[in-house]
């Protein structure tokens, strides 16, 4: 039967760092780094952030604690690094996007206070970096799927002719079994031409494999039925014809005794007719004569 390879998980790039486009506003600049693997402190220590005024960080990772339910636990945290409430804003981005990993937004302060809009710049920079990772992951997953589909198609191109050969052999075996059971001449099958499977798309090949497997399963069941009919046939014929040893002695004895009783009654009546004769009155005998 089919031995399909399971789909491999989408590839990750744990060692890569994904960088956002810079956001500049009144001499301040914001750049975000995101990575699914390195810790926030590693990102904060990145050489490109060495001259930054603030390195705001947030992280979200699997918890070491075990939950009583099947729900997965995660740990979150943040570091403002002097930009008050900046870390909390980053943490919310990770939660809203349901992303695990670490994100750091570096801000180079230009001397002009930006007010609340700075939080928008912080969050937008983080989202941009995370989207860079997400798009790269999607591209890698598509490439991996193409490779897997090509490998699966090659496997099916090799496997389907083998299935066809198995079906041919099993059909011949079934025909022989059926002929033995029915004593009827078997029909000669015309060889079926094997199609060029390499010209068919993967979806069609997968459906053909399912059909071939179902056909093989059906033929095997029919062979089992034919073999069962052959093994049970002689026993059924023998059981239908009773033998002398199989007949109960009581029945034979009663039949024989009944026959003897009938003969005995007939003999007794004959004896009565000949031995016991009713006396006739005088004159009657002469009239009869």
What SS3 string covers 78-119?
A: EECCCCCCHHHHHHHHHHHCCCCEEEEEEEECCCCCCCCHHH
Q: How far apart are CA 27 and CA 163, in angstroms?
A: 71
Q: How far apart are CA 92 and CA 148, in angstroms?
A: 37
Q: Is 101 or 229 the better-scoring residue by pLDDT?
A: 101
Q: Is 10 a domain residue?
A: no
Q: Is 40 or 70 the better-scoring residue by pLDDT?
A: 40
Place of tokens 């005794």: 257
122 pLDDT more than 80: yes
* pLDDT level of residue 20 (50, 70, 90 thresholds): very high
Q: Is 68 a domain residue?
A: yes
275 pLDDT more than 90: no
- Give the CATH number, domain containing residue 28: 3.30.230.30
Q: Is 1 a domain residue?
A: no
How would you classify the pairing of strands 101-108 and 23-25? unpaired
pLDDT at 81: 92
Q: Is 168 a domain residue?
A: no
Q: Is 81 a domain residue?
A: yes
Q: Is 114 a domain residue?
A: yes
How far is CA 269 from each of CA 36, 134, 259, 262, 276, rounded to the nearest angstrom?
Answer: 118, 117, 16, 11, 10
271 pLDDT more than 70: no
Q: Is 67 a domain residue?
A: yes
pLDDT in tens, 62-71: 887 776 666 7
pLDDT in tens, 152-185: 999 999 999 999 999 999 999 998 888 776 655 5
Q: Residue 90, exposed/middle/buried by CB under 10 A (0-12, 13-18, 19+)?
A: buried
Q: Is 35 a domain residue?
A: yes
Place of tokens 């941009």: 128
State how many domains the chain has: 1
Residue 111: give the domain boundaries: 18-140
């Amino acid at each position: 039967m089919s031995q399909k390879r399971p789909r491999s998980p989408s590839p990750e790039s744990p060692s890569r760092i994904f960088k956002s486009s810079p956001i500049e506003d009144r001499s301040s600049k914001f750049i975000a780094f995101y990575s699914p693997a390195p810790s926030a402190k590693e990102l904060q220590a990145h050489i490109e952030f060495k001259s930054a005024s603030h390195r705001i960080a947030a992280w979200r990772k699997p918890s070491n604690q075990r939950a009583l339910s099947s729900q997965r636990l995660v740990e979150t945290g943040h570091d403002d690094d002097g930009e008050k409430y900046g870390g909390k804003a980053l943490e919310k981005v990770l939660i809203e996007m349901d992303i695990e990993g670490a994100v750091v937004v570096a801000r180079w302060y230009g001397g002009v206070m930006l007010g609340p809009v700075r939080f928008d710049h912080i969050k937008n920079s983080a989202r941009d970096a995370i989207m860079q990772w997400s798009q790269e992951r999607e591209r890698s997953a598509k490439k991996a799927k193409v490779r897997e589909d090509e490998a699966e198609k090659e496997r099916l191109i090799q496997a389907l002719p083998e299935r066809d050969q198995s079906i041919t052999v099993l059909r011949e075996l079934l025909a022989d079994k059926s002929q033995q059971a029915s004593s009827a001449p078997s029909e000669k099958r015309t060889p079926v031409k094997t199609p060029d499977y390499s010209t068919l798309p993967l979806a069609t090949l997968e459906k053909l494999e399912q059909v071939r497997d179902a056909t093989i399963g059906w033929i095997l069941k029919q062979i089992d039925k034919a073999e069962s009919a052959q093994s049970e046939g002689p026993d059924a014929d023998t059981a239908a014809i009773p033998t002398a040893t199989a007949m109960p002695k009581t029945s034979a004895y009663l039949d024989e005794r009944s026959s003897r009783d009938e003969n005995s009654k007939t003999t007794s009546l004959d004896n009565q007719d000949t031995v016991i004769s009713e006396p006739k009155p005088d004159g009657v005998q002469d009239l009869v004569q």
